[in-house]
Structure 1
């Protein structure tokens, strides 16, 4: 897991239950995407909450979640 702290002391991370965000301050948690099923039984990761694309379709929800985390790590985490 990556945790980024900027020069102002703001912390940014992709939420994971392995770290309690309350342990490092008063968290503001917001949604990074919407992982949802499609009408034909596939999955997409809609990253519009962070001004990103819609990824997919994926055969499994876990594949969509993995793509979501990878995209957030590459394009959002270090902003």
Structure 2
């Protein structure tokens, strides 16, 4: 699990249960995307909650989830410039 610790002390991460985030202080969890099925049986990852694009379509839900995490790591879990 990758943690980005900003100079303000705020920590960002793609949530997983491998680290108990409560050990770091107050926790605020928010959705990074909406992974949903399409009408034709494919899957998309809508990254709008973090001001990102619509990813997909993908043949499987797991492929959409993998794309979601990859996008978050590359575009959201990076130091602010």
- What band does the TM-score fall into relative to the shorter chain? over 0.9
Give the deviation of 1:41 after TM superposition.
0.4
Residue matched to 1:3:
3
TM (norm. structure 2) is 0.93
Structure 2, unmatched stretches of 5+, are none
Residue matched to 1:46:
46
Instruction: Name the SS of the counterpart of 1:31 in structure 2.
Output: coil
Structure 1, unmatched stretches of 5+, are none
Number of corresponding residues: 79
Q: Structure 1 CA distance, aligned partners of 2:45 and 2:73?
A: 14
Residue matched to 2:15:
15
TM (norm. structure 1) is 0.95
RMSD of aligned residue pairs (Cα, Å): 0.8
